[in-house]
A = this chain, B = another copy of it.
């Protein structure tokens, strides 16, 4: 079926600049963009026509790193740094997700909020609990979202109440993959929490499983100075933090996402680049936990595949328009107050939030011909709006929207959800 959409289209096919097309028509066929017209297409057969008048239409957001069970704990323990925050706030709360009814109540609100915020694609951590994580996937599927959802693996350095044995962790992961077989847009993803939470043996077996079933992988990498030193202590023979993942087969060509990547050695940089692993920048979380500021411009300019994540609950902002602004602000801090790197432009940050790290899915994140049509319609009515260019309207939306408040329609793969 063909659909035609009228509106003001803004996207970033490349990170250098916004492509702005005023009052045009986008033709969508089988969920993909077939073409763009300045004038109404003559015949769309039995298709549908959506007239969004003078509204803005942008690609929907992809949130490439966040934790579903931490949604309700946003803002708690923000006087801690990473390890203290995990032990004092996060692990005790994640333990509660062993109760399916508890998980259901929490994940309903989480999935609603993700839908509202327009993060139509995401890569989400659950907890160690298989059933709870299936519930997370169910709630996201119900709302029509596309996502990778992972049951977390932890057999080391965690409190008893949340630690699995290696055997149990693997067995439950295999069962989780079976549970996920019937889903349409929610895919499973291999999710070791981070190196300190997993034995070398478990990491190796997860790597084998990922290869066997050709699955994507997500985890954390080089988030804090303390954590990097801890990994060195736990795996003294490793050449770097990422070497531990690599050895286990967890840096899968274009299929792995690693959150943070702030304290990267030369070996880390080589390995991440060579394997096409995407690093996920989570600026809010990195500020809240005083972890550090990622060298976004240096990494991008060095050809490393970057993405953007809310990292809820270390990050407190779910809406990706807010994460875009945090990323720009963080790069300004690094440039102007630390004297390092260059500013990330708004265009680059927008690109990261719509197209970054998307090799996991088919071509999407912009309105080029052949791309899946994933989009948000923005109603930014305000007095004197006529004075603003379309780009300035986009800026104002990015800076001032609290998330869903200005989104009036959401499309995923050409269907309104």
Contact = CB atoms under 8 A, between A and B. Distances in A.
B329 A288 contact: yes
- Copies, count: 2
Given A345-B79, A346-B78, A346-B79, A384 B72 contact: yes
Given A72-B383, A333-B337, A338-B337, A316 B105 contact: no
Interface in A313-345: 316, 325, 328-329, 332-333, 335-338, 343, 345
24 contacts: A72-B383, A73-B396, A74-B399, A75-B396, A75-B397, A75-B398, A75-B399, A75-B400, A76-B388, A76-B395, A78-B328, A79-B346, A93-B387, A96-B387, A106-B384, A287-B332, A288-B329, A290-B335, A292-B336, A293-B333, A293-B337, A316-B399, A316-B400, A337-B337
A7 B134 CA distance: 39
Nearest to A389: B76
Interface residues of A, number: 47
B332 A290 contact: yes
Nearest to A319: B402
A181 interface: no
A261 B316 CA distance: 28
A106 to B, nearest CB: 5
A399 to B, nearest CB: 3
A392 interface: yes
A109 interface: yes
Nearest to A315: B399
Given A79-B345, A338-B338, 11 more contacts: A72-B382, A73-B396, A74-B400, A75-B399, A79-B346, A96-B387, A106-B383, A287-B329, A292-B336, A333-B333, A402-B405
Interface string A200-227: 0000000000000000000000000000
A357 interface: no
A102 interface: yes
Contacts of A79: 343, 345-346
